[in-house]
């Protein structure tokens, strides 16, 4: 079974994150992701960057991943 | 006609298209149910929905078409808007409502 820690490691390996939170029960996961790479990108493009980092794992191992993405500026302003 | 052509036709011929698991009446996944409920909350009742569970080719094809690995997926005026998380966020900001009347 996939753990939140594993998903965290996979995302961090493919995307430079300033802050990364992962929670989940093995089926459904929730992530909060803060990355400078999100600057100037639409929400769709931001999520695509995360999906790209996860690659094939999105198809097989991860059933459901909810995410909230923030630029460092958006995160600081929360 | 290729599956990509079929999808291109669907999203260009209908203003609002939701690719989902199940139907709006009987969604078979919580995220798909959420997407359909948000559309209804925006006052959109007659959107074109595609049950990807009934068509494996569409299920795979839409992921490639949108470069997006998950279902549901919403298209408005031929443009990919996002999945369940993005719809929720746009709805909460009041932006989805504007997109749907445009």
**Model confidence pLDDT, tens digit, residues B26-45:** 999 999 999 999 999 999 98
| Confidence check: pLDDT of B67 > 80 | yes
ipTM of the complex: 0.90
Count Cα neighbours of B64 within 13 Å in the Cβ-side half-sphere. 13
Contacts of B96 in chain A (CB under 8 A): none
For chain A, what is the radius of gyration of the CA atoms?
Answer: 12
- The answer to whether the CB of A69 falls within 8 A of the CB of A58 is no
| Contact across the interface for B69 and A51, Cβ inside 8 Å | yes
Q: What pLDDT, on a 0 to 100 scale, did the predictor assign at position A19?
A: 97
**Which residue did the predictor score with more confidence, A1 or B27?**
B27
The shortest CB-CB distance from B86 to any of A44, A64, A65 is to A44
Does the CB of B48 have a partner CB in chain A at under 8 Å? no
Q: What pLDDT, on a 0 to 100 scale, did the predictor assign at position B8?
A: 98
Neighbour count for residue B96 (Cβ, 10 Å): 23
CA–CA distance, B3 with B43 (Å, rounded to integer): 30
Q: What pLDDT, on a 0 to 100 scale, did the predictor assign at position B80?
A: 98
Give A33-47 pLDDT, tens digit per residue: 999 999 999 999 999
| Confidence check: pLDDT of A51 > 80 | yes
Does the CB of B62 have a partner CB in chain A at under 8 Å? no
Burial of A77 (0-12, 13-18, 19+ CB in 10 A): exposed
How is domain B3-101 classified at the CATH fold level? Glutaredoxin (3.40.30)
| Contact across the interface for B70 and A66, Cβ inside 8 Å | no
| Contact across the interface for A68 and B68, Cβ inside 8 Å | no
Q: What pLDDT, on a 0 to 100 scale, did the predictor assign at position A33?
A: 98
């Amino acid at each position: 079974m996939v753990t939140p820690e594993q998903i965290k490691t996979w995302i961090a390996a493919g995307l430079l994150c300033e802050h990364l939170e992962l929670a989940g029960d093995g089926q459904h996961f929730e992530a909060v992701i803060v990355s400078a790479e999100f600057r100037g990108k639409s929400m769709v493009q931001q999520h695509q960057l995360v999906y790209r980092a996860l690659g094939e794992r999105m198809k097989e191992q991860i059933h459901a991943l909810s995410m909230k993405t923030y630029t460092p500026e958006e995160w600081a302003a929360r | 006609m290729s599956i990509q052509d079929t999808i291109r036709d669907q999203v260009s011929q209908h203003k609002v298209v939701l690719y989902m698991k199940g139907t709006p009446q009987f969604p078979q996944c919580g995220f798909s149910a959420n997407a359909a409920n948000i559309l209804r909350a925006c006052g959109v009742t007659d959107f074109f929905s595609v049950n990807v569970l009934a068509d494996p080719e569409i299920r795979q094809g839409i992921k490639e078409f949108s470069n997006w690995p998950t279902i549901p997926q919403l298209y408005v005026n031929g443009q990919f808007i996002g999945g369940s998380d993005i719809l929720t966020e746009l709805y909460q900001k009041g932006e989805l409502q504007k997109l749907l009347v445009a």
